[in-house]
Structure 1
Amino acid sequence: MLRTGLAIAALVGFAAAQTVTLQAESATLSGVTVASSVAGFTGTGYVEGFDESADKITFTYNATESKLYDLSLLYNGPYGDKYTYVVLNSAGGSQVSLPSTTTWTTVSAGQVLLAAGANTIEIQNNWGWYLIDAITLTPSAARGPHKITTTPVNKNANADAKALLSYLGSIYGKSILSGQQDQASLDWVTQNVGKTPAILGVDLMDYTESRISRGASSIDVDHAIAHAKKGGIVTFVWHWGSPVGLYETTAQPWWSGFYTVATDFDIADTLAEPTGANYTLLIKDIDTIAVQLKKLQDAGVPVLWRPLHEAEGAWFWWGAKGPEACKQLWHILYERLTTHHKLNNLIWVWNSVSPAWYPGDSVVDIVSADTYAEGDHGPISATYNNLLSLTNDSKIIAATEVGSIMDPAQLKAYQADWVYFCVWSGDYISAGKWNSLEFVKKVYADEYVLTLDEVQGWKG
């Protein structure tokens, strides 16, 4: 036992010795300054003043060999929840969450693939107003096989849903499915790239009363059925317009009613009164979209179902009152659709990263995140690794909305095993700013990326 203990201690000591700490005050500073008034920092000071978009810290590190490193940030966040952006060698990086804190805290910033020789790591402003003390670099441990489950959380899931989750599990870590939000944008990819995305992303937004009564309409369910008949996979988001309380002003028109700032609807108060009128309207909306999901079930279409998306951002009303109200709503939605309406074609996709918001393994099939970084085709490894930790690698992970597509080579190098990506619609795919046509063609031609023609027969 003594020898074993000594061996373990030696390994721990070896790992610790491999960790390199780089102090922010010794880096190259752009628009930021060194300070020392907030006690508890390491080194001789810390860096503050992230208040302009171009503000950044640039660390330089000379690596003896090309290797993947775990990157951590030591920061203080006295001004609320923030985000920073990490860029390696001026190309490719990750958005990193910096939760509010008044103590010096270490947070994972994903991984960086350092080249032999000089490397730069930039900490860019993003949401700003935080303090940076240092970064650490530790050689990444080899990742073992995934431990994900492919059994749907709904015990009554139908054969279609089981087949879909099983298929996703079979390609997880081996390939990534291409996806595109909106039928018109998917058609643009087909016409301009010469290949069709495997996944079509559509929306149940315009199927509820608060929007239909104001003139909205949609044929997204029809698009989904048509794509499925071609052998494709579909995913639905739901920009849930507030059931009541829309401001309907010039600044906040009715069609923006899913935003927190566009309604006085209070989800916490509504859930506290299950016999109240607002709760009745809430359930009515769920029942209304159940009709559309039933059409998909009857057509043999399993759905990657992503309601209550981006909740922790609080910009949508379902996240505006914090995690407890949102998690309660998720459970109500799950129970109403699966038990009451017997919808067994749904794969439940959760869409927030913070552990405080997670509704639980028993009601989630897939975990996911939405990330937007203009022109950056990095692997989004910090977010991926946070989702990996969220469920201890028990759930498949998806990039359910992206602005810029991830470079397949970087995905493989960083072991960022997103099972699919779905590019947002319009200018995100077609304007050339977020993704050049040349790069999109390169992605769709990569053998790691699966397109519609390559997923035929996935149900079997």
Structure 2
Amino acid sequence: MDRNDRMWQMISAVKSTVTDPAWTASYKELLRQPVNPCISDGARELLELLYSVQGKRMLTGQHEYLEAPNNYSGQIYDKTGKRPMLKGFEFGGISGQNEALLAEQRDKIVTAAKAWHDAGGIVTATYHQVYPGTALEWPNVKRKTTPDEFDQILTPGTVLHTAFLAAIDEVAVYLKQLRDYKVPVLWRPYHEMNGDWFWWGDKTNFNALWELMYQRYTRYHGLNNLLWVWSANANNEWTKPARDYYVGHNRADALGFDIYDNAYYYSNYDELLYLAEGKIISVTENGQLPDMTRTSLRQFKLSWFMTWGSYLTDKNTDAVIQTVYNHPFALNRGDSFTPVVVPPASAADGILGNYYFGQNFNTLKVTKVVPTVNFNWTSSTTINSWNMTVRWTGFVQGVHDEEYTFYVQSSDGVRLWIDNILIIDDWTVHGTLEVSGTAVLAAGKQHRIKLEYFNNQDTLANVKLSWESASTVKEVIPQTQLYSV
């Protein structure tokens, strides 16, 4: 374990207990540093570029197959007059080719990646590695692997370990060519590890495989042009929880989910936000293209998408492709980096309230959209009972790029979440009092909000949700900044 790793180990051990704002700010700044302290200037500049654009624009991307590295990006230009910012390349041989043909194909990948870089594009790459020592065929990528076999791959001196190193060393030859040409690469190995369809998937010691490649590539091969992208499958019924396979902040420069079947759910976005803590997040693979208006307003921290090969046209119409690539939030190759503000697709209508009988959300009685949360019930409540819990949900739109203080004045308990982060937690019985918490909002962006309240009084119930910031006087959050859906 080197000095950098020991530092991260100590930080991880204490971060949940530290509340000092200066320490928190330093921690967030540390998160933005490259995981490889010997990173090349070009890779560092690319990471800084991603952070400078984060939340302001979404980089477009398209994957190309090993056999034809200039196919779909050309189709995008023919359909839209735009070129994706990112081009994805494949280094794994999976179609039964011999070693000579694979070497020729990888040479073409290097040539195409250099040209893309020279033209102002960003290069990302993945590696569908066959099971060590087997033929270059797709079934050997999807081979079922026992825990004992996986352990042998990780264990020096075994046949499988030797075969594994030989395979990744071959890929390193081509990555070195990109390094020497000063091409930074968003390197995305062993993706979708939280599923069981690849030989490296659903392994409790997956992190050891990542560590093995990381050490081999950074320490042994000196591949300092790589930014390391951890890429899980979006959580669904066929996967284990992605967070169980996260390799840690000292081994991932960026995090992403592979999203298919239009699974652009807020739960997946929230999971990435939770895991990343401010690091770069993205859609590392997709079938259907994202809804750029919704993304720009409500999932705006996603830094890029990358459509997978033929899914560009298999899963998307020409009209959809044109809409996405010509959307003001999309950042294509050759575009300026000017931030944009995308108008909301719907009018600000307030916040959705679900009103329950009982103090534990027992029986739903009323559901309605209210313009603001500013209630003082004196004769009766919305459900005609003082024994009541309420859950208000929706989106709050920032007016300024600032830290906001949120205030909740209430009789009895309240809890408030912003972007799925609990910032107020006062679930106690008391008379009317005010509690507060803070969250950073982005101007023109819609952040998820959830407020819960319970009342234990016999003839009194009140709750009021307010905010203030350096540029906003304290006020009840107005309807103009609240969206129910």
TM-score over 0.5 for the pair: yes
Partner Cα separation in structure 1 for residue 118 and residue 336 of structure 2: 12
- Deviation of 1:412 after TM superposition, in Å, equals 2.5
1:388 aligns with 2:280: no
- Percent identity, please: 32
Aligned residues of 1:245 and 1:265 also touching (Cα < 8 A) = no
Q: Tell me, what secondary structure is at the counterpart of 1:201?
A: strand
Aligned pair in 2 of structure 1 residues 272, 227: CA closer, same or farther (>3 Å)? closer
Partner Cα separation in structure 2 for residue 309 and residue 368 of structure 1: 9
Q: Deviations over 1:113-151 (max 9, x none)?
A: xxxxxxxxxxxxxxxxxxxxxxxxxxxxxxxxx957331
Aligned match of 2:423: none
Q: Give, as a single letter, the amino acid of the residue that structure 2 aligns with 1:231.
A: G
Q: Tell me, what secondary structure is at the counterpart of 1:190?
A: helix
Q: Deviations over 1:359-406 (max 9, x none)?
A: 111111001110111xx4x74422121011113x23110101000111
Aligned match of 2:331: 450
Aligned residues of 1:198 and 1:452 also touching (Cα < 8 A) = yes
- Deviation of 1:408 after TM superposition, in Å, equals 1.3
Aligned with residue 235 of structure 1, among 99, 121, 124: 124
1:30-109 maps to which residues of 2 (within 5 A)?
none
Worse-superposed segment, 215-224 or 165-174: 215-224
Q: Tell me, what secondary structure is at the counterpart of 1:388?
A: helix
Unaligned 5+ segments in structure 2 are 1-26, 65-69, 233-240, 339-485
Q: Give the 4+ runs in structure 1 shifted more than 3 A.
A: 146-149, 210-217, 263-267
Q: Give, as a single letter, the amino acid of the residue that structure 2 aligns with 1:277.
A: V
Aligned match of 1:157: 39
Aligned residues of 1:312 and 1:357 also touching (Cα < 8 A) = yes
Aligned pair in 2 of structure 1 residues 237, 192: CA closer, same or farther (>3 Å)? same
Aligned residues of 1:180 and 1:199 also touching (Cα < 8 A) = yes
Aligned residues of 2:130 and 2:138 also touching (Cα < 8 A) = yes
1:298 aligns with 2:180: yes
Partner Cα separation in structure 2 for residue 267 and residue 355 of structure 1: 24
Q: Tell me, what secondary structure is at the counterpart of 1:180?
A: strand
Partner Cα separation in structure 2 for residue 201 and residue 455 of structure 1: 21
Aligned match of 1:42: none
Aligned match of 2:220: 340
Aligned residues of 2:154 and 2:212 also touching (Cα < 8 A) = no
The alignment's C-alpha RMSD in Å is 2.7
Partner Cα separation in structure 2 for residue 439 and residue 298 of structure 1: 38
Aligned residues of 2:58 and 2:300 also touching (Cα < 8 A) = no
Aligned residues of 2:39 and 2:225 also touching (Cα < 8 A) = yes
Partner Cα separation in structure 1 for residue 254 and residue 78 of structure 2: 31
Q: Give, as a single letter, the amino acid of the residue that structure 2 aligns with 1:312.
A: N
Aligned match of 1:368: 256
Aligned pair in 2 of structure 1 residues 186, 268: CA closer, same or farther (>3 Å)? same
Q: Tell me, what secondary structure is at the counterpart of 2:200?
A: helix
Aligned pair in 2 of structure 1 residues 452, 267: CA closer, same or farther (>3 Å)? farther
Aligned residues of 2:132 and 2:163 also touching (Cα < 8 A) = yes
1:412 aligns with 2:296: yes
Q: Tell me, what secondary structure is at the counterpart of 1:383?
A: helix
Aligned residues of 1:231 and 1:455 also touching (Cα < 8 A) = no
Partner Cα separation in structure 2 for residue 266 and residue 288 of structure 1: 25
1:351 aligns with 2:231: yes
Aligned match of 1:225: 114
Question: Which structure has the greater CA radius of gyration?
Answer: 2
1:260 aligns with 2:143: yes
- Deviation of 1:305 after TM superposition, in Å, equals 0.3
Aligned residues of 1:259 and 1:316 also touching (Cα < 8 A) = yes
Aligned residues of 1:231 and 1:456 also touching (Cα < 8 A) = no
Aligned match of 2:82: 195
Q: Tell me, what secondary structure is at the counterpart of 2:39?
A: coil
Partner Cα separation in structure 1 for residue 270 and residue 301 of structure 2: 10
- Deviation of 1:355 after TM superposition, in Å, equals 1.8
Partner Cα separation in structure 1 for residue 153 and residue 133 of structure 2: 14
Aligned residues of 1:265 and 1:317 also touching (Cα < 8 A) = no
Aligned pair in 2 of structure 1 residues 156, 207: CA closer, same or farther (>3 Å)? farther
Q: Give, as a single letter, the amino acid of the residue that structure 1 aligns with 2:271.
A: N
Partner Cα separation in structure 1 for residue 289 and residue 265 of structure 2: 10
Q: Give, as a single letter, the amino acid of the residue that structure 2 aligns with 1:342.
A: G
1:164-183 maps to which residues of 2 (within 5 A)?
164-182=46-64, 183=70
Aligned residues of 2:93 and 2:137 also touching (Cα < 8 A) = no
Q: State the TM-score, normalizing by the size of structure 1.
A: 0.60
Partner Cα separation in structure 2 for residue 215 and residue 265 of structure 1: 33
Partner Cα separation in structure 1 for residue 326 and residue 209 of structure 2: 41
Aligned pair in 2 of structure 1 residues 167, 264: CA closer, same or farther (>3 Å)? same
- Deviation of 1:407 after TM superposition, in Å, equals 1.1
Q: State the TM-score, normalizing by the size of structure 2.
A: 0.57
Aligned residues of 2:57 and 2:300 also touching (Cα < 8 A) = no
Partner Cα separation in structure 2 for residue 381 and residue 368 of structure 1: 14
- Deviation of 1:298 after TM superposition, in Å, equals 0.8
Q: Tell me, what secondary structure is at the counterpart of 2:186?
A: strand
Unaligned 5+ segments in structure 1 are 1-145, 247-252
- Deviation of 1:215 after TM superposition, in Å, equals 4.8
- Deviation of 1:213 after TM superposition, in Å, equals 3.4
Aligned pair in 2 of structure 1 residues 234, 272: CA closer, same or farther (>3 Å)? closer
Q: Give, as a single letter, the amino acid of the residue that structure 1 aligns with 2:122.
A: I
- Deviation of 1:300 after TM superposition, in Å, equals 1.1
- Deviation of 1:260 after TM superposition, in Å, equals 2.3
Indicate the structure whose relative CO is greater, using CA pairs within 8 Å and at least 6 residues apart.
1
| Matched residue count | 296
Aligned with residue 99 of structure 2, among 213, 219, 236: 213
Aligned match of 2:415: none
Q: Give, as a single letter, the amino acid of the residue that structure 2 aligns with 1:368.
A: G
Aligned residues of 2:124 and 2:188 also touching (Cα < 8 A) = yes
